[in-house]
């Protein structure tokens, strides 16, 4: 049975940005399906929750099929599920750890997109919004793998948007900076730590804790997602929050040598 309200599927809606987006979209009249890897307690959320692991092809297929069976279609997919690693040198993560990060942050987006596109093409409309990061625009030292996973999301989304636009579908990325969520608490430590980086790792952890004190609330990002979902002429990129806007501006207009030395000075490298 097709619901008259637009239907949104949001990955990783159990906390943080995904939860804020699910709440915003529910308020705006969307019929929202959020996802989590764990079964949600009945009545905990104001929207429907489905169990999904974006690293599993079968789980992704099942979730998309379930929502389409219930609602007749999906109008908006928000690919939000993701995690980070504690700040550490690029060489301190094994290949296995790097693959696990990409499997969620990038391949998760690819899996979900492949699963919804046939239905969106059939209904000749749809929106796909991918939660990237300002680190998908300005890569910072000691978050190389995470920044790379978000650069992959950026490149994929921009190419995809060109491919599906004539089918009535649009794709965008949202680029937040530090946001007050469970993200830092869920960061995974490097699995191949080296003594030579121990001191910079500690310094960076403290710096991140300090920056988090002035971080954006997740609803700041959710408002940008809602705008991107509802506007008739969506852009490919949206920065979200003050710090993200500032960094994107610097990336665009500052000579790269100055940005390079600014980053090194800021981190005491
Ligand atoms: P949280 O840790 O609060 O939320 C992450 C969400 O992703 C959870 O709902 C979690 O669900 C879900 N998730 C993680 N892995 C999987 C998986 N394999 N399959 C399905 N769901 C998964 O962090 P945020 O809200 O901050 O992060 C949301 C997005 O925002 C991420 O993509 C992150 O990279 C991005 N971002 C965050 C920033 C920040 O400073 N917080 C800044 C820039 C971007 P569950 O554990 O219930 O399965």
Residue pLDDT, tens place only, 29-56: 999 999 999 999 989 999 999 999 999 9
- CA-to-CA distance for 153 and 147, rounded, in angstroms? 10
> Ligand 1 pocket, 148 CB below 6 A?
no
Rounded distance from Cα 95 to ligand 1 centre (Å): 21
CA distances to 127, 134, 208, 262, 268 from 265, rounded to whole Å, are 40, 19, 16, 5, 5
Assess whether 150 carries a catalytic annotation: yes
Element (H, E) at 59: helix 57-71
**Of 82, 115, 211, best ligand 1 pocket probe by most atoms within 8 Å of the beta carbon:** 82
Q: What share of the chain is helix, strand, coil (3-state, %, to 5)?
A: 55, 15, 30
- Report, as an integer, the average pLDDT of 57-86: 98
CA distances to 43, 123, 269 from 175, rounded to whole Å, are 31, 28, 26
> Ligand 1 pocket, 17 CB below 6 A?
yes
At which residue do the structure tokens 């490149």 appear?
A: 155
CA 24 to chain centre: 16
Structure tokens at 136: 């998908």
Instruction: Give just the sign of the alpha carbon dihedral 30, 31, 35, 38.
Output: positive
Structure tokens at 25: 């979209």
Residues 44, 38 contacting (CB under 8 angstroms): no
Assess whether 238 carries a catalytic annotation: no
- CA-to-CA distance for 83 and 162, rounded, in angstroms? 27
CA distances to 21, 36, 101, 113, 171 from 9, rounded to whole Å, are 10, 12, 22, 11, 14
Under the banding of pLDDT at 50, 70 and 90, the label for residue 158 is very high
The burial class, CB within 10 Å (0-12 / 13-18 / 19+), for 234 is middle
> Ligand 1 pocket, 214 CB below 6 A?
no
Q: What is the pLDDT of residue 49?
A: 98
- Among protein residues, the one with the nearest Cα to ligand 1's atom 8 is 12
CA 90 to chain centre: 21
Residues 91, 142 contacting (CB under 8 angstroms): no
Q: Where are the beta strands (DSSP E) in 63-198?
A: 76-79, 126-131, 169-176
**Is 1's pLDDT higher than 80?**
no
**Is 191's pLDDT higher than 80?**
yes
**Is 3's pLDDT higher than 80?**
no
Residues 37, 108 contacting (CB under 8 angstroms): no
Assign 200 to helix, strand or coil. Answer: helix
> Mean pLDDT, the chain, as a whole number?
96
Q: What is the pLDDT of residue 2?
A: 54
Assess whether 132 carries a catalytic annotation: yes
Q: For the beta carbon of residue 165, count every other beta carbon within 10 angstroms.
A: 12
Bridge partners of residue 188, in order along the sequence: 85
- Among protein residues, the one with the nearest Cα to ligand 1's atom 10 is 12
Assess whether 15 carries a catalytic annotation: no
Query: 207-217 in b/e burial notation, b at 16+ Cβ within 10 A?
Result: ebeeeeeebbe
- Report, as an integer, the average pLDDT of 189-206: 95
Element (H, E) at 16: helix 16-27
Of the candidates 142, 146, 156, 178, the residue annotated as catalytic is 146
Rounded distance from Cα 213 to ligand 1 centre (Å): 19
């Amino acid at each position: 049975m097709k619901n008259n309200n637009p239907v949104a599927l949001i990955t990783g809606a159990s906390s943080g940005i995904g939860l804020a987006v699910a709440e915003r979209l529910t308020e705006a009249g969307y019929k929202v399906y959020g996802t989590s890897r764990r079964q949600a307690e009945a009545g905990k959320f104001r929207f429907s929750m489905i169990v999904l692991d974006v690293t599993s092809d079968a789980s992704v297929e099942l979730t998309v099929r379930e929502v389409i069976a219930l609602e007749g279609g999906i109008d908006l997919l928000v690919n939000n599920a993701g995690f980070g690693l504690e700040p550490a040198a690029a060489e301190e993560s094994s290949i296995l750890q790097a693959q696990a990060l990409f499997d969620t942050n990038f391949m998760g987006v690819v899996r979900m997109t492949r699963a919804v596109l046939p239905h969106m093409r059939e209904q000749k409309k749809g929106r796909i919004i991918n939660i990237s990061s300002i680190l998908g625009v300005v890569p910072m030292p000691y978050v190389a793998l995470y920044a790379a996973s978000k650069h992959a999301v950026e490149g994929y989304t921009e190419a995809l948007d060109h491919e599906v636009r004539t089918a009535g579908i649009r794709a965008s990325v949202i680029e937040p900076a530090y946001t007050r969520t469970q993200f830092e608490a869920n960061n995974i430590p490097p699995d191949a730590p080296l003594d030579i980086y121990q001191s910079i790792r500690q310094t960076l952890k403290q710096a991140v804790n300090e920056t988090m004190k002035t971080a954006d609330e997740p609803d700041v990002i959710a408002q940008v997602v809602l705008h991107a979902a509802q506007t008739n002429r969506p852009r490919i990129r949206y920065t979200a929050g003050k710090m993200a806007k500032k960094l994107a501006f610097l990336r665009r207009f500052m000579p790269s040598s100055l940005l390079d030395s600014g980053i090194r000075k800021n981190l005491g490298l």
